[in-house]
């Protein structure tokens, strides 16, 4: 019990969160340089799950990937500290809510909402990268059919039309270059046929799956051969968590802004505390609360 | 703060133990640019091609894993292959398996590899037609074990014919490292991994020696590598093997900062702002593409008639012959380029093999 309490206090330490963030900054700085020299190593991340990448690429090229693996560990620790800090903060805030009034009470909860948003963002990313599906190289010619791997869904490309810039195009040198590629995907599953229009900037979403045009052919006018598209098929179960996280994070920030500007609460705290979300212990919070009054 | 100190130590120790144990988790896996080979049990291999498709290489006589469609399984070692890319053919020749090539999409006269020229002449190798109009009937009759293609558009058709194919190009240009090591990817299909590794290492070794000689060079000539057309320009980006070869040959590649696909279109402003001061322009457009002189190049491009660039006047323009793409000897190509850029340091290289100067008229 003592160990849990000690660990909790250690993880709830505001300075630990700060050091973790500094370390992450340093890692990402170094990583941005290393990545430039090994682009293909990290491009592979988009094609496979995080665990697959770690086993295949991460472990085989530690000289180039150590910073990324280190960043994963640091992010995990940051998520832990955020959880602990957030819980501490929430307990302290709930204790101090009495007599605050509805709006002021809600606004006081804003740091906890920011915490929760941040955690959901991290969790969403983790879910996306560990259980998400990202399939490249799905090449479909007109009237061609493929089965979506791991499902009973079949996809047929019914139509495909590539538009080109005409003569006198507004952009110099773009005559005859493609302007857009639009097709009709027919999705066949147990519920029947569903036709959806797909184009470069218009992916198709269907029952948790998404279909994107990654490449297409022909790329210039006058080429005589059958056109095709190269599709990326994705299933991203983390996207809702990320969306929820982003909304909560934004909401929390706006609420906190109101807290500071309209109700003049938290004045005197450094901006770092606002964003790093660290009101470390109920004791310090009480002291702060008394000062406000 | 004592407890904090203890826990930080514990955390650091845990991370160290994790990192020490971590390499034990790794699998037998090799990656060459966007391509990879994963070595599985029973001599099977899983390869990832340039567009991210996965194929299973299964030794002849072994049973394939259930669930893989026929076009996704390649029986190895391959004995009959169709190649689209001349560079792939050169690599297969370097592996000692040029006789495995049974079909090509380049005409006989455009080949510099004698075995393939002769093969097409005596009918052992079939010319299947241009990539836009492949004779699929003939291709099917050839019964290739695999088709190495840069044209992803044939994948659906070959899937239909149950012929496995490997896309050998990537969206992002192959860098020099991946270009040389690509032989190691191809070798997985022939079971010639050791030979390929030795070949690639010898190439890197020779490039190191060229770099050592170039340390005496005082000035790096400014080089651009690209094609100027009537109304557009394309250049090799800095991440491409062509751009990186210039750097290895002691040149100052002016599009070093550019990243993208091989021979990518750039804005005219960007091109001419850099090209105006270049010492040397290397272009793919030579007599084989109807450009036999600087004069003809100027006539073929409205842009060059309007804007002047240094290589068109006092600078030099070199065109690459098709042989450039039919050689696995990348170190040899770099040596020749180094001799062009620093002739005093490489006096022994006189006869051009890959780069030819475009005369004024």
Among the partner-chain residues B25, B26, B34, the one whose CB lies closest to the CB of A43 is B34
pLDDT for the residue B33: 85
CB–CB contacts below 8 A, A to B: 101
What residues of B are in contact with residue A2 (Cβ under 8 Å)?
none
Does A286 map to a domain?
Answer: no
Sign, Cα dihedral of B70, B75, B79, B84: positive
Residues A157 and A80 grouped into a single domain? no
CATH code for the domain in which residue A194 is found: 2.60.98
Of B3, B15, B51, nearest to A73 by CB-CB distance is B15
Do A147 and A263 belong together in one domain? Answer: no
CA distance B304 to chain A (A): 13
Distance from C-alpha of A253 to C-alpha of B72, rounded to nearest angstrom: 51
Q: Which residues of B touch A133 (CB under 8 A)?
A: none
Q: Kindly state whether residues B176 and B222 are assigned to the same domain.
A: no
- The Cα–Cα gap between B175 and A259 comes to 53
Distance CA(A170)–CA(A260), nearest Å, equals 49
pLDDT in tens, A70-89: 999 999 999 999 899 888 88
Q: Are B104 and B244 contained in the same domain?
A: no
- Min Cα distance A163 → chain B (Å) is 18
- Residue A146, domain extent: 133-235
Instruction: List the single best residue of B15, B45, B153 to mutate versus A (max A Cβ within 10 A).
Output: B153
**Chain A contact present for B244, CB below 8 A:** no
Q: What is the per-residue pLDDT for B122?
A: 94
Is residue B14 assigned to a domain?
no
Query: Where a domain ends, among B133, B161, B193?
Result: B193
Q: Which residues of A touch B3 (CB under 8 A)?
A: 6, 9-10
Measured in whole angstroms, how far is the alpha carbon of residue A267 from the centre of its chain? Answer: 32
Look at residue B250 and tell me if it is in a domain. yes
- Residue B71: what pLDDT? 63
Question: In the 8-state DSSP scheme, what is residue A202?
Answer: B
Structure confidence by residue, pLDDT tens digits, A145-195: 888 877 889 999 998 988 888 777 677 667 777 888 999 999 998 888 899
Are A17 and A88 a contacting pair, CB within 8 Å? Answer: no
Helix (H) or strand (E) holding A85: helix A62-95
Q: Which of B31, B164, B171 to mutate to test the interface with A (most CBs of A within 10 A)?
A: B31
Contact between A7 and B233 using a beta-carbon 8 Å cutoff: no
Same domain, yes or no, for A101 and A13?
yes
pLDDT at A289: 44
Are A173 and A265 in a shared domain? Answer: no
Domain assignment present for residue B8? The answer is: no
Can you give the CATH number for the domain in which B244 is found? Answer: 3.40.50.1980
Q: Which of A126, A23, A17 is nearest to A78 (CA)?
A: A17
Q: What residues in A contact B26, CB-CB < 8 Å?
A: 55, 59-60
Q: Do A73 and B18 touch (CB under 8 A)?
A: yes
Tens place of pLDDT per residue across chain A (293 aa):
678 888 888 888 888 989 999 999 999 999 999 988 888 788 888 778 888 888 888 888 888 999 999 999 999 999 999 899 888 888 888 887 777 777 777 777 888 899 899 999 999 999 988 888 888 888 898 888 888 877 889 999 998 988 888 777 677 667 777 888 999 999 998 888 899 999 999 999 998 899 999 889 887 777 777 789 999 999 988 989 999 999 999 999 988 888 777 766 554 444 444 444 444 444 444 444 444 43
Tokens (6 digits) for B163: 């012929």
Supply the angle between the helices A62-95 and A14-37 in degrees, to the nearest 10: 150
User: Reduced to 3 states, what is the DSSP secondary structure of residue B227?
Assistant: strand
Among B26, B36, B233, select the one facing A59 at the smallest CB separation. Answer: B26
Contact call for A172 and B268, based on CB within 8 A: yes
Q: How far apart are CA B325 and CA B90, in angstroms?
A: 8
A149, two tokens: 């791997």
ipTM of the complex: 0.72
Q: Which residues of B touch A172 (CB under 8 A)?
A: 231, 268
Could you tell me if residue B233 is inside a domain? yes
CB proximity list for A42: less than 8 A, separation 6 or greater: A35, A68
Work out whether strand B54-59 and strand B73-76 pair parallel, antiparallel, or are unpaired. parallel
* Helix (H) or strand (E) run with residue A93 in it: helix A62-95
Same domain, A54 and A178: no
Query: Quick one: pLDDT at residue A251?
Result: 92
Phi-psi region of B327 (alpha: psi -120 to 50; beta: other; left: phi over 0): beta
| Domain-located, residue A268 | yes
Choose from B156, B175, B237, B265 for mutation: most chain A CBs within 10 A: B156
Cβ-based burial of B354 (10 A; exposed 0-12, middle 13-18, buried ≥19):
buried
Q: Does residue B158 sit in the same domain as residue B38? A: yes
Judge whether B332 lies within some domain. yes
Q: Are residues A71 and A214 in the same domain?
A: no
Residues of A in CB contact (< 8 Å) with B are 6-7, 9-10, 13, 16, 39-41, 43-44, 47, 55-57, 59-62, 66, 69-70, 73, 77, 135-137, 139-141, 144, 172-175, 215, 217, 223-226, 228, 230
A238 Ramachandran zone, left/alpha/beta (phi>0; psi -120 to 50)? alpha
Contact B22 A7 (CB under 8 A): no
Question: Two tokens at B73?
Answer: 């399984």
| Cα(A216)–Cα(A33) distance, integer angstroms | 32
Assign residue A248 a region (left: φ > 0; alpha: ψ between -120 and 50; beta: otherwise): alpha
Residue A292 forms part of a structural domain: no
Q: What is the pTM of this model?
A: 0.81
Residue B132, min C-alpha distance to chain A (Å): 6
Distance from CA of A142 to the nearest CA of B (A): 10
CA torsion through residues A65, A71, A74, A76, sign:
negative
Question: Which residue from A225, A143, A229, A217 is spatially nearest to B131, judged by alpha carbons?
Answer: A225
Residues with Cβ within 8 Å of A210's Cβ and at least 6 positions away in sequence, in order, are A203, A204, A233, A234, A235, A236
What pLDDT score does B21 carry? 55
Residues B339 and B224 in one domain: yes
Do B189 and B108 belong to one domain?
yes
Residue A211 tokens, joined: 């279909």
CB atoms within 10 A of CB A33: 9
> Does A257 map to a domain?
yes
B327 & B232 share domain: yes
Quote the number of domains for chain B: 2
Joined tokens for residue B109: 């006269």
Q: Which residues does chain B have with pLDDT short of 50?
A: 1-6
Among the partner residues B132, B171, B268, nearest to A173 by beta-carbon distance: B268
DSSP letter (8 states) at residue A200? T
What own/partner pairs with CB < 8 Å and gap ≥ 24 does B109-112 have?
B110/B288, B110/B322, B111/B86, B111/B326, B112/B321, B112/B322, B112/B323, B112/B326, B112/B327
Residues of the domain holding B149: 29-193
Question: Residues of B numbered 92-131 whose beta carbons fall under 8 angstroms of chain A's beta carbons: which are they?
Answer: none
- Does A99 lie in the same domain as A33? yes
A15 plus A127 within the same structural domain: yes
Asked if B22 has any chain A CB less than 8 Å from its own CB, the reply is yes
């Amino acid at each position: 019990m003592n160990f849990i309490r000690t660990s909790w206090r250690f993880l709830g330490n505001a300075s630990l969160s700060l050091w973790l963030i500094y370390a992450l900054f340093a890692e990402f700085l170094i990583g941005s340089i290393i990545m430039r020299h090994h682009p293909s190593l990290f491009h592979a991340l988009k094609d496979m799950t995080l665990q697959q990448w770690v086993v295949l690429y991460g472990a085989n090229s530690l000289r180039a990937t150590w910073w990324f693996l280190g960043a994963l560990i640091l992010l995990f620790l940051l998520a832990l500290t955020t959880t602990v800090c957030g819980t501490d903060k929430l307990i302290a805030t709930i204790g101090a809510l009495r007599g605050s009034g509805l709006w002021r009470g809600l606004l006081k909860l804003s740091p906890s909402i920011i915490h929760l948003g941040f955690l959901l963002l991290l969790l969403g990313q983790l879910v996306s990268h560990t259980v998400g599906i990202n399939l490249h190289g799905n090449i479909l010619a007109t009237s061609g059919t493929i089965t979506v791997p791991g499902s009973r869904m079949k996809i047929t490309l019914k139509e495909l039309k590539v538009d080109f810039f005409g003569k006198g195009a507004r952009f110099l040198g773009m005559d005859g270059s493609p302007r857009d590629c639009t097709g009709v995907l027919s999705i066949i599953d147990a519920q029947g046929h569903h036709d959806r229009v797909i184009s470069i900037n218009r992916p198709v979403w269907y029952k948790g799956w998404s279909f994107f045009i990654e490449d297409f052919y022909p790329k210039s006018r006058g080429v005589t051969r059958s056109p095709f598209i190269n599709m990326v098929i994705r299933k991203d179960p983390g996207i809702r968590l990320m969306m929820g996280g982003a909304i909560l994070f934004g909401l929390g920030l706006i609420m906190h802004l109101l807290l500071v500007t309209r109700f003049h609460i938290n004045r005197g705290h450094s901006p770092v505390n606002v964003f790093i979300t660290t009101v470390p212990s109920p004791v310090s919070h009480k002291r702060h609360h008394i000062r406000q009054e | 703060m004592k407890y904090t100190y203890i826990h930080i130590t514990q955390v650091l120790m845990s991370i160290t133990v994790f990192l020490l144990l971590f390499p034990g988790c790794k699998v037998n896996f090799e990656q060459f640019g966007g391509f990879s080979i994963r070595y599985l049990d029973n001599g099977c291999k899983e390869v990832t091609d340039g567009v991210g498709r996965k194929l299973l290489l299964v030794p002849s006589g072994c049973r394939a894993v259930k669930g893989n469609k026929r076009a996704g399984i390649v029986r190895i070692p391959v004995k009959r292959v169709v190649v689209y890319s001349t560079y792939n053919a050169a690599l297969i020749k370097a592996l000692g398996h040029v006789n495995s090539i049974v079909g090509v999409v380049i005409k006989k006269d455009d080949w510099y590899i004698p075995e393939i020229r002769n093969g097409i002449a005596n009918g052992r190798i079939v010319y299947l037609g241009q990539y836009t109009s492949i004779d699929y009937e003939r291709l099917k009759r050839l019964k290739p074990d695999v088709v190495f293609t840069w044209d992803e558009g044939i994948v659906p058709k070959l899937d239909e014919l149950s012929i496995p194919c490997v896309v050998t190009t990537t969206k992002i240009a192959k860098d020099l490292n991946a270009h040389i090591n690509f032989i190691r990817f191809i070798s997985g299909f022939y079971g010639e991994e050791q030979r390929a590794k030795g070949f690639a290492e010898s190439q890197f070794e020779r490039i190191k020696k060229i770099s050592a000689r170039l340390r005496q060079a005082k000035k790096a000539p400014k080089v651009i590598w690209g094609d100027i057309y009537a109304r557009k320009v394309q250049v090799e980006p800095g991440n491409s093997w062509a751009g990186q070869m210039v750097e290895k040959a002691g040149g100052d590649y002016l599009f070093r900062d550019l990243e993208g696909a091989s021979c990518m279109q750039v804005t005219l402003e960007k091109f001419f702002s850099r090209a105006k001061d270049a010492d040397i322009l290397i272009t793919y457009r030579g007599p084989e593409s109807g450009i036999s002189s600087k004069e003809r190049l100027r006539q073929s491009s409205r842009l060059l008639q309007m804007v002047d660039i240094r290589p068109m006047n006092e600078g030099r323009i070199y065109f690459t012959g098709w042989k450039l793409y039919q050689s696995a000897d990348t170190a040899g190509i770099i040596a020749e380029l180094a001799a062009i850029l620093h002739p005093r340091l490489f006096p022994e290289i006189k006869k051009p093999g890959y780069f030819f100067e475009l005369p004024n008229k």
